[in-house]
Amino acid sequence: MLDPRKRPRQDRSKATVAAILEAAVELFTEMGFAKTTTNRIAERAGVSIGSLYQYYPNKNALLVMLLEQHILHAGPVIEEAIKKLTQTDRDLEQRIRGLFEQVVALHDMAPDIHRMLFEEVPKPPSIQELSLQSEKRMAKLTEEVLREVVGEERPNLDMTAIVLVQTSEALAHWLAIRAPDSLERERFIDESAKMMVRYIGVI
């Protein structure tokens, strides 16, 4: 049972759900996913456990909802960053670096929660489809930018865009939740951007 039981429609119910989700984020961060209980979440949110269960059958469903919110929030941010790639006089490496910084910033928001979102709970079909459609949208926008930057005549730009989207996501994910504290983050971002630009340059 990973899907919400129902979605809030009225302002009051939306406020209740917002309080529940905020409390879940706080407790997941403070205590970890395994030690957090729905009773603690309800208590922190200031609602009854019955009110919580009206919307979410368990804490796994809460985490899935947080993942859905993350995907829905990240999509427009990255779309806007991709569109801006053609609206600047900076060279290609600076443009790619700026885009990658946006991806990194999204992953840096509550990294402990980010790790839980992607590693603690299986993704239901609804989330898998939402994620897939978001990735397709990012790849399509990236392809359009590449056609403007490197030229229409370049072959395989659709696949190049997919590789760039998946590469930036994987690198940012590792940087946010796996990289050692000693890592020079700015240098890592620089090298990642250079790698992606060089890939574009040799296709």
**Domain ranges across the chain:** 1-57, 66-202
* The two domains 1-57 and 66-202 share their CATH topology (first three levels equal): no
What is the C-alpha separation between 69 and 65, in angstroms, rounded? 6
Rg (the chain; Cα; Å)? 20
CATH topology of domain 1-57: Arc Repressor Mutant, subunit A (1.10.10)
Taking all residues of the chain, what is their mean pLDDT, rounded to a whole number? Answer: 85
Q: Taking Cα atoms as reference points, which of 102, 107, 104, 116 lies closest to residue 25?
A: 116
To the question of domain 66-202 being in CATH 3.40.190.80, the answer is no
Contacts of 94 (CB under 8 A, 6+ apart): 88
Whether the per-residue pLDDT at 86 is higher than 80: the answer is no
User: DSSP state, 48?
Assistant: -
pTM of the entire structure?
Answer: 0.76
Per-residue pLDDT at 89: 64
